[in-house]
Structure 1
């Protein structure tokens, strides 16, 4: 069973616009993220639970079978690659992270076809928790 995910109205609106503008070559990424959004609980930014991964959150997570943890900031595609510490919401792991809360675990498909699990260890920074609503 998939964990419940929570998305802010602001993040949902911006991601919907992004998905509408994606070229057909990015259909798999678009469809995967659209599927996640379709099952999301949508709340106002100021009602966002403080331990949920939102856009521009910095999150510590681990992948199944790996001892190490990663710390990444979830960003829009144009912001990705500005350092090793970002992950695009259009990447498989990025779309898997969006909306999960600390302690949640979900499986996602790696581009090579393997199924991997990702677990949220800690949301180190969340814009909404800091009062940054991106309005």
Structure 2
């Protein structure tokens, strides 16, 4: 069973707009993220728990079957070119991370068909926690 996820009204509005504009070639990514959003608890940005991964959060996480941890900032696709330290919300791991809290684990499907687990170790930076609601 998948853990509960929480997203802000601001993130939901922005992601919905982004999904509406995606080309048909990205239908699989759109559908996967839409499915995640459909099961989310939605809160006002100022009510967001401080340990939840939101858009533009910097998160440290582990992947099953891999050694070590990764530290990435969850971004919109247009922001992905801003460095190696970003992960798109449209990628399988990015859509899996969105809305999880520290300590949560979820399985996601890698593009090659393998099922992997992702675990949120720490939310290092969260815009809402810092009072940055309109980034």
What's 2:109 paired with? 109
Q: Return the alpha-carbon distance in structure 1 between the equivalents of residues 64 and 87 of structure 2.
A: 18
**Which consecutive segments of 4 or more residues in structure 1 shift more than 6 A?**
none
* Structure 2 residue ranges without an equivalent (≥5): none
Task: Please report the RMSD computed on the Cα atoms of aligned residues, expressed in angstroms.
Answer: 0.8
Residues 18-43 of structure 1, C-alpha deviation per residue, up to 9 Å, x if partnerless?
A: 00010111000000000000000000
What's 1:3 paired with? 3
What's 2:123 paired with? 123
What's 2:33 paired with? 33
Superposition deviation, residue 134 in structure 1: 1.4
Superposition deviation, residue 70 in structure 1: 0.1
Partner SS, residue 17 of structure 1: helix
Q: TM-score, normalised by structure 1?
A: 0.98
Q: For 1:75-86, list aligned pairs within 5 A.
A: 75-86=75-86
Residues 11-65 of structure 1, C-alpha deviation per residue, up to 9 Å, x if partnerless?
A: 0000000000101110000000000000000000000000000000000000002
What's 1:98 paired with? 98
Residues 80-119 of structure 1, C-alpha deviation per residue, up to 9 Å, x if partnerless?
A: 0211000000000000000000000000000000000000
* Structure 1 residue ranges without an equivalent (≥5): none
Q: For 1:7-26, list aligned pairs within 5 A.
A: 7-26=7-26
